[in-house]
Amino acid sequence: MNILIQKFGGTSMATEETRKNVADKIMEAKKIYDNVVVVVSAIGRLGAPYATDSLLHLVNYKNTKLSSKEIDLLMSVGEIISSLVLTNTLLESGIDACALTGGGAGIITDDNYNSADVININTEPLMKLLNEGKIPVVAGFQGVTIGNDVTTLGRGGSDTTASLLGEALNASAVEIYTDVDGIMTADPRICKSAKIIDEISYNEVFQMAGSGAKVIHPRAVEVARRAGIPLIIKNTFNNSKGTSIKRHIGVERKKTIEDKLITSIAHKTNITQVSIKGDIDDENFFTDLARENVSIDIINIFPERKVFTIDDVCKDKVIRLIEKYEAPYTFIDDCCKVTIIGEKITGVPGVMAKIIRCLSKSSVEILQTADSLSTIACLIKEKDLVIAAEALHKEFMLG
C-alpha cells in the first residue's frame, strides 16, 4: 500500500482560505498515492484563539496550580480543533475524511507529561479508515498513556507525530507543509543571497538545527532517518518543489569540480565567551555547571586557561560559580556563532584556511573555532554577523 503522510502547520490552518489550499494539496496527493494520512498543528501562533501559547495564557501558565497532566489536556485542545475544522473543510470539498485525536490514532506514550515519548503505535484505527477509503486527519503533538491520559510530545511534536506515523505505516514519504519554500542555504533575514536547497541529508539537517537554524525538529528527522523515509519540506501556498531530506546520495555519484563542499550556513546569537585563567579543578567546575543547567558550546581547555561559550541568559549563574572557585576571569558579550555545514568537507584540506582568509578579508575577527566531521564553527562579534554570513555564502558559492 502506497501511503503518504502530510503534516500541515499552524499558518496553513489559520483561515478558511488557507484550509482550502490544504484541501487542494491533499486532493493532489490522492492522485499519486493510494492513501493519505494528514497530521495537523494548532491554528496560528500566540494571539490566535486556539494556538497552544494562547491556551496556556488562559491559565497564567507560569503560575498555574494545574498539574502537568492537566496542562497536557489543555495543550492538546488546539490540535483537536484543527483536526475537526480541516475535516469539515475536506467533507465540504467532497473528500471523505475523519478527525482523530492522537490517542484515537493509536499513539501510546509514557507518562512524562509535557514532553512524552511515544512507546507504541497501534495502526489498526488508521488502517481501518484507509481500507474504507477515508482520509484520517490526526491531531498532532499528542498521544495517550496506557491508562488513557492525554499527553503532549514537546516542542516540534506535530512534526514528530508525522514521522512516527510514517514509520509505523511504512509510508513512502512524509511531507511537512509550512509557509516557506523549503530549507535555505542561510537565514534569508541576514543573508539576502540565500537560496532553497533541493536535497539535503539527515545529518546536515541535524547539524543545522544544532547550530541555530530554524528547521524541522531534530526528533522528527531522527525518526525519519531510522525508518529510511524521505522528509519533504514544502510551502502550502505555492507549488514549489521544496527540500527533500534523505540519506546522503553524494557518495554514490562521481564528484565533479562543480560539487559544492558546503550545503548551508547557520548562526546562533546571544552568546557570551568565558575565559578563566589559572589552575582550577576542571572536573568539579564543569560538573557544577551541569548541575546549574548551564550548557556550554565551543570549548578549549589549556593548562592555564579555559575558554568556552554559554548562552547570555546563563551569565549570572556562571559568574557566581567562578567566584566560588576564586579564579580570575573575563567575558566577551554580544557574540554569535556562524557555522558552515557540509558532509563533503570531511578529509578535505584547506577549508579552514579558506574561512579564515574570507573573514579576514571582510575585517571579521574570529574569537574561537570548533569543528566536527561535517561542520566548522566560528565565534565572532554579533555586529559582524551579516557581513560574515554574506561573505561565507559567496566564498563557498551557495548563491
* Residues 105, 165 contacting (CB under 8 angstroms): yes
Cα four-point dihedral sign 365, 370, 375, 381:
negative
CB-CB neighbours of 255 under 10 Å: 9
- Phi/psi of residue 126, nearest 5 degrees: -70, -45
Per-residue exposure over 166-188, b if at least 16 CB sit within 10 Å of its own CB, e if not: bbbbebbbbbbbbebbbbbbbbe
Are 300 and 308 in contact by the 8 Å Cβ rule? The answer is yes
Q: Is there a binding annotation on residue 8? A: yes
Residue 10, marked binder: yes
Cβ(136)–Cβ(130) below 8 Å: yes
Query: 278 a known binding residue?
Result: no
Q: Is 215 annotated as a binding residue?
A: yes
Cβ-based burial of 5 (10 A; exposed 0-12, middle 13-18, buried ≥19): buried
Report how far residue 168's alpha carbon sits from residue 166's, in angstroms, rounded to the nearest whole number.
6
Strand order in the sheet with 35-40: 97-100, 135-139, 35-40, 3-8, 173-178, 231-235, 243-246, 199-201
- Whether 7 has a binding-site annotation, put simply, is yes
Residues 194, 197, 201, 205, Cα dihedral to 10°: 40
Q: Is 178 known to sit in a ligand binding site?
A: yes
Q: Which residues are annotated as a binding site for ATP?
A: 7-10, 178-179, 189, 214-215
Q: Which residues are annotated as a binding site for substrate?
A: 52, 79
Q: Which residues are annotated as a binding site?
A: 7-10, 52, 79, 178-179, 189, 214-215
